[in-house]
């Protein structure tokens, strides 16, 4: 009798265990508010939910202009992180979210050092809130340390006539940015002007969210070097990501993506320039008329082991538009680009184009 009772109990336990394991996962709706010190528009704060025991990101959401957010996620215990540009982040630890919950409101305080004007010497790491035009003059050198963030709080110029050394690390980038969730303010990108800026070196940098006539990076009569940099979400009339005039910059292991140009060169526009790209990816850029990815105008462009993928234009040259130029491709992949009229991959006009060991579709 005892044996039969024990057997029945074990069977009941097993059935309950299986039922628990296969029961539907409970979804809960979470909302709350996060405000920004000194701001009337509280949009753009990232609210990230992480599993409290493993610190793994599960989901995230952004606040609207009133600071409100809401999302649906699986019931459980979470660490909730609030972060926004140059504001100090906050983490609310071990939040037990077993039912629909409105979280306690939070406010983020400004954490950045405010700077403007002429810069030299060494800055960083840390967040620097740019409140006006900044520059590196001809005789000066500015060195930025890994982990430095330049957050542009107003429409500002960053003009480099001297030397900028911004060498981050794979795990600790240097970032030039502003808040993409607002139409204003937008900054005007990095502007390398003249021969004295040719010694500038940038590595493991992020250049993003610039909107101006000159895109994310502008080089005029200059030849700076970029390595392991990400140039993304910038826009301009010509050369949304990179615009060069009479310049010869080099790009190595760089990722140029999601940039836009009103006329031509969604990612890159070169005029009277000699530009070199090695091991770079140019992906998902767009232009209204010419060269969704790259536009070369009376220039010499060399691409080695590069991928030009998924770019688009409303007229000619989805991947690359060559106008009165010499363009060389070696061991490159040019695929998935589109043009409304002609030249999905490459469109050439009065130009010489060399392809060696390339995949072109």
| pLDDT tens, position by position, 72-104 | 999 989 999 998 877 888 888 889 999 999 998
> Which residues are CB-contacts of 163 (< 8 A; sequence separation ≥ 6)?
136, 140, 141, 142, 196, 197, 199, 200
pTM above 0.85, yes or no: no
Mean of pLDDT over the chain = 89
Mean pLDDT of 110-114: 80
Mean pLDDT of 151-179: 93
pLDDT at 57: 62
Tally of CB atoms within 10 A around 118: 12
Q: What is the mean pLDDT of residues 170-197?
A: 84
Q: What is the pLDDT of residue 3?
A: 45
Q: What angle do CA 160, 280, 212 make, to 5 degrees?
A: 40
Question: Tokens 């810069």 sit at which residue?
Answer: 119
């Amino acid at each position: 009798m005892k044996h039969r009772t024990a057997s029945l109990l074990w069977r009941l336990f097993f059935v309950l265990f299986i039922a628990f394991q296969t029961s539907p996962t409970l979804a809960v709706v979470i909302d709350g508010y996060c405000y920004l010190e000194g701001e009337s528009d509280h949009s753009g704060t990232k609210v990230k939910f992480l599993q409290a025991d493993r610190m793994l990101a599960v989901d995230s959401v952004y606040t609207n202009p009133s600071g409100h957010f809401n999302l649906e996620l699986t019931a459980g215990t979470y660490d909730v992180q609030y972060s926004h540009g140059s504001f100090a982040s906050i983490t609310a630890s071990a939040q037990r979210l077993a039912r629909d919950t409105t979280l306690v409101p939070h406010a983020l305080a400004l954490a950045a050092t405010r700077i403007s004007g002429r810069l030299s010497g060494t800055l960083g790491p840390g967040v620097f809130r740019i409140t006006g035009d900044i520059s590196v003059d001809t005789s000066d050198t500015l060195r930025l340390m890994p982990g430095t963030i330049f957050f542009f709080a107003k429409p500002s110029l960053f003009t480099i006539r001297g030397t900028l050394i911004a060498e981050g690390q794979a795990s600790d980038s240097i970032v030039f940015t502003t808040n993409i969730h607002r139409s204003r303010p937008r900054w005007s990108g990095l502007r390398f002007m003249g021969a004295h800026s040719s010694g500038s070196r940038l590595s493991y940098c992020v250049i993003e969210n610039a909107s101006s006539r000159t895109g994310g990076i502008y080089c005029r009569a200059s030849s700076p070097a970029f390595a392991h940099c990400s140039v993304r979400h910038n826009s301009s009339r010509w050369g949304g990501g990179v615009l060069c005039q009479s310049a010869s910059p080099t790009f190595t292991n760089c990722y140029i993506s999601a940039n836009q140009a009103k006329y031509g060169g969604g990612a890159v526009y070169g005029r009277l320039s000699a530009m070199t790209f090695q091991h770079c990816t140019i992906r998902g850029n767009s232009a209204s008329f010419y060269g969704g990815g790259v536009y070369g105008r009376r220039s010499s462009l060399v691409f080695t082991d590069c991928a030009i993928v998924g770019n688009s234009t409303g007229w000619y040259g989805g991947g690359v538009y060559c106008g009165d130029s010499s363009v060389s491709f070696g061991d490159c992949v040019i695929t998935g680009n589109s043009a409304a009229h002609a030249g999905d991959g490459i469109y050439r006009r009065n130009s010489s184009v060399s392809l060696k060991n390339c995949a072109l579709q």
